[in-house]
Amino acid sequence: MIQETGPNHPTSLYIYTDQNSYEPLARIDTDGNQEQHIRYFHTDLNGCPEELTDANGKILWECSFQLWGKRIHEIEHESVEQNLRYQGQYLDRETGLHYNTFRYYDPDIGRFTQPDPIGLAGGFNLYQYAPNGLTWVDPWGWSCGSTKDSYQRAMNKALKWLEKRGFKAEKINTGKFGSIKGKPVGMTTADGKTGFRIEYDERSGAHINVFSGKEKGEHFLFDATESIVTKLQGLFNLPSKPRRDS
């Protein structure tokens, strides 16, 4: 979706996070008087819009969803209709289905209503959307993929968040619970108040947690197995190189 217009709808131009993404960033509405209004999308982990705000941060529209995209509640604080759903999907309000280019998706059951266009070549489950609706997307309705970053990209995002809070890697951060208790999982400042942890769990998979005092940042997800995460955690236990005297 690049642009939409209609007799009872302003012309809307959509802007996405980057040229290869279907995650919406903003839309520019042009009304009948040719006045332009910019709206900003606020999305969850898989790029599904949860809020739409104006240039001043006022919430115009909000919606909460279950895991596979079924609406829990939707509120229009102003007369602003918002139909984007999972990446590449557009809500048909008459049927409740999501148009997904090559197929329609039913959020009530978390499955497509038509079989996979490529048949069994796409797998035995012909109506499956994705293995996990939180971290996988299928913008075209025929091939899903993970929304997770590489480890390096996720770490760069985590460090960018931390640098704004004066982070310096001065002390090894150790795990608090389970199999990682007492083992290196990341780094903190000397006082232990600001830092990060590299972790793995069944719900989020591989991710980096960041914190600064009582402030908690988002989970920066990356694509890795649990064994790879264990190896990455072990890197923080390596002895530092001796300093060469000048």
| 3-class DSSP state of 132 | coil
Tally: H helices and E strands in the chain:
2, 19
Residue predicted with more confidence, 169 or 14 = 14
Tell me the CA end-to-end span of the chain in Å, nearest whole number: 60
- The domain limits of the chain are 3-146, 151-237
Q: Please tell me the distance from the alpha carbon of residue 88 to that of residue 86, in angstroms, as a whole number.
A: 6
Q: Please give the distance of CA 235 from its chain centroid, rounded to a whole number.
A: 27
Residue 146: the pLDDT is 64
Mean pLDDT, residues 180-209: 92
**pLDDT tens column, 65-93:** 998 999 999 999 998 999 999 999 999 99
User: E-assigned strands of 54-193?
Assistant: 59-65, 71-76, 90-91, 98-100, 103-106, 111-112, 136-137, 145-146, 171-174, 184-188
At 148, is the pLDDT very low, low, confident or very high (cuts 50, 70, 90)? Answer: low
Instruction: Out of 98-112, 172-186, 229-243, give the one with best mean pLDDT.
Output: 98-112
Q: Which two tokens stand for residue 191?
A: 């006082």
Residue type, 44: D
pLDDT digits (tens, 9 = 90+) for 212-244: 999 998 889 888 888 889 888 888 875 444 444
pLDDT value at 167 more than 70: yes
Tokens 């993404």 found at: 21
Tokens (6 digits) for 239? 């002895």
Task: Say which range, 25-34, 99-108, 193-202, has the weakest mean pLDDT.
Answer: 25-34
Instruction: Say yes or no to pLDDT of 246 above 60.
Output: no
pTM, two decimal places: 0.61
Q: Is residue 110 pLDDT above 70, yes or no?
A: yes
Kindly indicate the confidence band of residue 122, based on its pLDDT and cuts at 50, 70 and 90. low
State residue 42's pLDDT score. 96
Three-state DSSP at 158 gives helix
- Long-range CB contact pairs, 18-24, < 8 A, 24+: 21/47, 21/87, 22/47, 22/87, 22/88, 22/137, 22/139, 23/47, 23/87, 24/49, 24/84
Query: Both tokens of residue 206?
Result: 């591989």
Would you call 185 exposed, middle or buried from its count of C-beta atoms within 10 A (0-12, 13-18, 19+)? buried
